[in-house]
Amino acid sequence: MIREFIGNTPLRHCDALSTRYHTNIFIKEEFHNPGMSAKDRPALFMIEDAIAKKKIKPGGIFVEASSGNTGLGITLIAKKLGYRAKIFVSQSCSTEKIDLLIKAGADIEICENSNGLHDFNSTQFRAQSFASTHPNAYFTNQYYNTQNIRAHYKTTGPEIWKQTEGSITHFIAGVGTGGTISGAGRFLKEQRPNIKIWGIEPNGSILGHFLKQRTLPNDTTAFDPIEGIGRNFIPGSFDAAYVDHIFQVNCHETKRMANEYYSQTGIMTGFSSAAVIAALDRYADKMGFSKTDIVVLFFPDHGDRYISKLYNEHIHRPTPLQTSRHFNF
Ligand code: PMP
């Protein structure tokens, strides 16, 4: 069953980053999950919870609003358990992720934005209205479902604690719904209260502002398009109590770091993973790591689903070979 393959992902030491930032950097590689992202974890918890609480009957439709990864996790798990999946994705979703969703058997709809439940054209509003107007459909609603945080509290946090043998000093992850940082962050803080839990978001996203001031900024319109992270509303899955600080990076430096890291290491990071590296680069002085720190970076997915957005600049396909020959008999 697919369940057995979710979680227990590797944590690897990264020589290149450790040398560059004079500390010990480890990477939690979430692309080893079946849907090749961290979001399989909350997808499994949300689906199992809905089934256990009889919120959906066999053969029903799981509905989700997603930048792609949660949708893929929901679809793969739902299908395996005899359910269907209807996924509302924003038009900013990479073509690779859309192809993966279709291949997995999701029924997808592409929406204008993911601006939250108050916006008629958003993935969340449309997912909510679909679920409320179709019988036996259940909106898993990752932005407000407590199982999202719980999945990371029960699995991601404990795995990292065990893998670092309790020596982790910093946990750094991108913030989208907030589930990862809130769930893993809470578990890790309970083990070591002085651990640093840092989030990364794109320029213009409002979670960092909210964390510092506990108010919304006046302007909540646009944020840099780094797929999977950044919000212009405060999701219920974001629990500010376990986050120490949120750093902002821009899309341009993220793309640059993704390509730089790829040439240096041969590893293609996902978009939001590259944002974490970009944050190290920009804020290394402020972060002030020491030689003995144990820093864990959370990489939610892999770069192969962002070739068209992140890595396509130097790809020039050869023209088809000239195969026609003219024989004169
Ligand atoms: N990176 C990627 C690629 C994602 O798909 C997501 C989920 N939207 C995140 C980061 C953010 O994770 P979370 O929703 O747990 O904050």
Beta bridge partners of 248: 201
| Protein residue closest via CA to atom 5 of ligand 1 | 228
DSSP characters for 1-61?
-GGGGSS---EEE-HHHHHHHTSEEEEEEGGGSTTSBTTHHHHHHHHHHHHHTTSS-TT-E
Ranges of beta strands (E only) in the chain are 11-13, 24-29, 61-66, 84-90, 107-111, 137-139, 170-174, 196-202, 245-249, 294-299
Chain segment 245-277, per-residue pLDDT in tens:
999 999 999 999 999 999 999 999 999 999 999
pLDDT at 1 over 90: no
| Protein residue closest via CA to atom 9 of ligand 1 | 228
| 326 in a structural domain | no
What lines the ligand 1 site, CB under 6 Å? 37, 39, 67, 69, 174-180, 228-229, 270, 272, 300-301
* Residue 316 binned pLDDT confidence (cut-offs 50, 70, 90): confident
* Residue 132 binned pLDDT confidence (cut-offs 50, 70, 90): very high
- Domain range enclosing 257: 2-32+154-310
| 121 in a structural domain | yes
Do 21 and 168 belong to one domain?
A: yes
* Residue 24: CB atoms within 10 Å: 22
| 145 in a structural domain | no
Residue ending a domain, among 84, 111, 139, is 139
| 148 in a structural domain | no
Could you tell me the distance, in angstroms and rounded to a whole number, from the CA of residue 316 to the centre of ligand 1?
A: 30
Percent above pLDDT 70 for the chain = 96
| 319 in a structural domain | no
| 304 in a structural domain | yes
Neighbouring residues of 70: CB distance < 8 A, sequence distance ≥ 6: 39, 42, 43, 64, 140, 142
**Ligand 1 atom nearest 301 alpha carbon:** 3
**For residue 108, what are its two tokens?**
């997808």
User: Does the interface ipTM go beyond 0.90?
Assistant: yes
Do 27 and 51 belong to one domain?
A: no
Could you tell me the distance, in angstroms and rounded to a whole number, from the CA of residue 312 to the centre of ligand 1?
A: 22
* Residue 317 binned pLDDT confidence (cut-offs 50, 70, 90): confident
**Per-residue model confidence (pLDDT) at position 318:** 73
* Residue 240 binned pLDDT confidence (cut-offs 50, 70, 90): very high
Chain segment 134-193, per-residue pLDDT in tens:
999 999 999 999 999 999 999 999 999 999 999 999 999 999 999 999 999 999 999 999
| Protein residue closest via CA to atom 10 of ligand 1 | 228
Do 194 and 224 belong to one domain?
A: yes
Chain segment 43-76, per-residue pLDDT in tens:
999 999 999 999 999 999 999 999 999 999 999 9
pLDDT at 315 over 80: no
Do 179 and 303 belong to one domain?
A: yes
**Per-residue model confidence (pLDDT) at position 322:** 58
Read off the CATH number of the domain in which 95 is found: 3.40.50.1100
pTM listed for this prediction: 0.95
| 316 in a structural domain | no
Average pLDDT, the chain: 95
